[in-house]
Every structure is written in structure tokens, then in C-alpha cells.
Amino acid sequence: MKGETDMKKKTIALFLAAMMAASMAACGSSSDSSDSAAASSAAAESTEAEETGDTASGDVTNAEKPLVWFNRQPSNSSTGELDMSALSFNDDTYYVGFDANQGAELQGQMVMDYIEANIDSIDQNGDGVIGYVLAIGDIGHNDSIARTRGVRSALGTAVEKDGAIVSDPIGTNTDGSSDIVQDAEVEIGGKTYTIRELASQEMKNSAGATWDAATAGNAIGTWSASFGDEIDVVVSNNDGMGMSMFNAWSKENEIPTFGYDANSDAVAAIAEGYGGTISQHADVQAYLTLRVLRNALDGVDVDTGIGTADDAGNVLSDDVYKYVEDERSYYALNAAVTADNYEEFTDSTAVYEPVSNQVDSETKSVWLDIYNASDNFLSSTYQPLLEKYDDLLNLDVEYIGGDGQTESNITNRLGNPDQYDAYAINMVKTDNAASYTAILSQ
């Protein structure tokens, strides 16, 4: 992979050098090659765009301005079906997230690998049942659903209904009688064990905020008080909830706990027994979130600085993201972070080196909301990254923080959309896209 990337970089560097030589020759007016003519006319066009700054001025309606959905993909919260009318609201609309299925599979595999490697010591009460509890983030969020499915599938506890793995919470299942999950039989080192999902719950607080870390901390308190010696593994749809359970109970009891997001505190906790986490490459996602807006504002190809190097040399290799055209979505790829490699991931807010070069475009203004200002991942990893990239991309971003439950508190803050050149939206509910696009269409 790395060789491939280096090769790609080299090819791009060579191409840029050739372009430069060609356009210099054109300036000297001695070349008649069609390549150099194309290069100089492209250069002239981009200078013109810079001078006039005519990309998102007063005569562009809000409905035509660049729009990026991020982190919560417009989709039906019951069926997961993508909301294509939101995703293709205008020609400059995209979604930026990460590959939920690839990440979910990795998370499940990471937990299973851990169980296999530690089979001699993992079964706390020696009853032959490896019991785990699962913190579910949001039953109507496709990332959360994928992670629940990924864990159940890798551990063998999944049950299918209508061709899909059931992702509902089970409440408690200490006797293995649930019909939402099943007991798995696994053979490790010549011995047969049962793997059982003892309990799972959506971590939603009384006010309605999901992925709620405090709720997860309380849940592990309740679970451990009634069947603590049966819990051998703790799994969570994210690190916010995972760390809350780790700090409340599993650290002291030395129970491996697994999360998702690779927030800095969770990565650091691996040294203290946190089992592992998944990096969803927030450094790449935060870049893409602002980059697609930058490109649309500059009127350049959307691939600029993404699959194709920009003038500053920013470029991503295809081992860190993919673009799915018919979903109008960019997805960062995930990586497992465990005791073997966590030292490479200690700062979750460091910009991704291949896209860390300052661009030279005119400053534009962006309205951007974070649906829940107290969400650990968004506030401690994603927003700090966005704040670094907004400087590198010359975007003047206004950050609006929501409470995680009231969509109208956020939409009310979009009272004057005319003021901005572009919008970046992180919804409370994945099915609420129309409440934003209606404002932009007014």
C-alpha cells in the first residue's frame, strides 16, 4: 500500500513539474504544443476566478450554494435508506462520513481476536460462557446500527430477520433466552465456549440525547451490580460511552472494554487496559468536509486536493477514503487501534500530513453546526480538526453547537443563510434533512 502511495505521489509530482515547464514555455511564447496551451488557459481561468471571486456572491441563491452533510447521513432512521433528495439537493451537495460496514467488521474482529488471544484468562467466573455487554449509541443512526451488527456478527451472536442482522437492544439476557440475539458456540484451543450478549441498551438520556456517555456509566453500574461476575468483555458503539463504562467499572475490575472513534483519551487508556478502538479517520473526514465546499466555491473539479493533488500538494491516497458516486458520499476508511499500534494514534486532533498544506484561495464564509456540543467524538476530535483545516483552506467557519436533541435550536441559528457562502450540516436526526433544505430554498 505504502509503495503504491509513494508511487502515486511521485507520478503526481512529475505531472506537476511537467505542467509547470509547459506553462513556463507558453509564457515564453515559443511553444505551440496543445498541452501547454491547455495549461495556460486553465491557469488564466483560475486567476480570473480568484480576481472576481464570483463563485458565491450575492447573485447566487442559498439553494445553489455548496452544501455538505457530515457525520449523520441523511437517511431513514427506521430502514436506513439514504435520503437521495437531500444528498443531491444541488450540484454541489455531498455527504462526508466513513465506511460504516468496513469499520463495524473491524470492530467485531478486534473483539473476537482479543477473546481468542486471551482465552486462558478472560472467563472471569470460569463458567465457560464469555459474557459481554453492549452500549448502543442511537437505534436510528446507521453508524450505530452497523456497529451493533458488526460485533454480533463477528462474535456469532447475530440473529437475522428479513435478510438483515437484528440490531435492536435486548435489555438483559443473562439466561441466553433472547430471540434478538443467540448464544454462539466457539472452539478455541480445543475447548468449546459459549459467547453470550448478556445485556444491551440504547444510551439515551431522559431529555432524549443519544450516544449518552453518562447513561452508559449508569448502565454498567446497574449491570455489574446484578451480574458483574458474568461480564468478561464490555463493548460500546463509541469511545464516549466506552470510556464512561471503563472509568466507572471496567478499569478497576480489569475487564477489556472496546469502543470506536480513537478519541485521544481512549487511545491513552489502552495503556491502562482499555481493549481497543477504531479510528474512523476523523482527520481525513474533517478535511473532506471542508474541502468539498472549498472546491465548489472555487469552481474547480470536486476531486481537487482529494484524488488529484491541488497546487499546494494536498492529495489523499485511496487507502484512506472512497467516493461512492451514486450516493454522492465520501467515506473515510477505518483502522483498528489496539495495544499493538496505539502509539501511532495518540493525538486524535493532528491534521493528516498529506493534506496539511496551506491553500491560496480567497476567504469564504461557512455556516457549520455540531449537533451535540457535548458529544465526545465531535467535540474532542472532529471540531478541533475542522478548526485546523478551516485555516489551511481559508474558510471562515461559524461553528454552531446543538444540544443533541432539539433540531429547531440549530435550524433557528440558520436565520440568515444569505450571510454565508456555503453550509456544513450535522443533523440531530438523520431524517430531518428537509428542515434545513427548506430554509435554504426560501
Q: Where do contacts with ligand BGC occur on this chain (CB under 6 A)?
A: 71-72, 137, 143, 211, 238, 240, 260-261, 375, 377-378
Q: Please identify, using beta-carbon distances, which residue of 240 and 384 lies nearer to ligand BGC.
A: 240
Q: Cβ of residue 404: shortest distance to ligand BGC, in angstroms?
A: 9
User: Which of 182/238 has CB closer to ligand BGC?
Assistant: 238
**What amino acid is encoded at 343 in this protein?**
E
Query: Between residues 55 and 210, which has the closer beta carbon with respect to ligand BGC?
Result: 210
CB atoms within 10 A of CB 355: 26
Please provide residue 374's backbone torsions phi and psi, each rounded to the nearest 5 degrees.
-105, 10
- Asked if residue 373 lies in contact with residue 407, where contact means CB atoms within 8 angstroms, the answer is no
Q: How many helices (H) and strands (E) does the chain have?
A: 15, 17
CB of 239 to ligand BGC, least distance (A): 7
C-alpha torsion 304→305→309→311, nearest 10 = 90
Smallest gap from residue 2 Cβ to ligand BGC (A): 27
For ligand BGC, the closer CB: 22 or 267: 267
The DSSP line for 21-38 is HHHHHHHTT----HHHHH
* Contact in structure between 279 and 319 (CB atoms under 8 Å): no
- State the nearest-atom distance from the C-beta of 253 to ligand BGC, in Å: 24
CB closer to ligand BGC out of 26 and 136: 136
Shortest distance in whole angstroms from residue 426 CB to ligand BGC: 7
Kind and range of the H or E run holding 224: helix 213-227
- Within 13 Å and on the Cβ side, how many CA atoms surround 137? 28
Please tell me the total number of residues recorded for the chain in this structure.
442
Q: Report how far residue 150's alpha carbon sits from residue 138's, in angstroms, rounded to the nearest whole number.
A: 15
290 or 378, CB closer to ligand BGC? 378
Rank residues 172 and 379 by Cβ distance to ligand BGC and give the closer one.
379
For 292, the grid coordinates are: 468539498
Produce one character per residue of 313-347: b if its CB has 16 or more CB atoms within 10 Å, e if not. Answer: bbbbbeebbebeeeebbbbbbbbbbbeeebeebee
Backbone dihedral angles phi then psi of residue 284, each to the nearest 5 degrees: -80, -40
Closest approach, Cβ 76 to ligand BGC, in A, equals: 16
**Least CB distance to ligand BGC at residue 10 (A):** 34
Nearest distance, CB of residue 375 and ligand BGC, angstroms: 5
- The residue among 104 and 309 lying less far from ligand BGC, judged by its C-beta, is 104
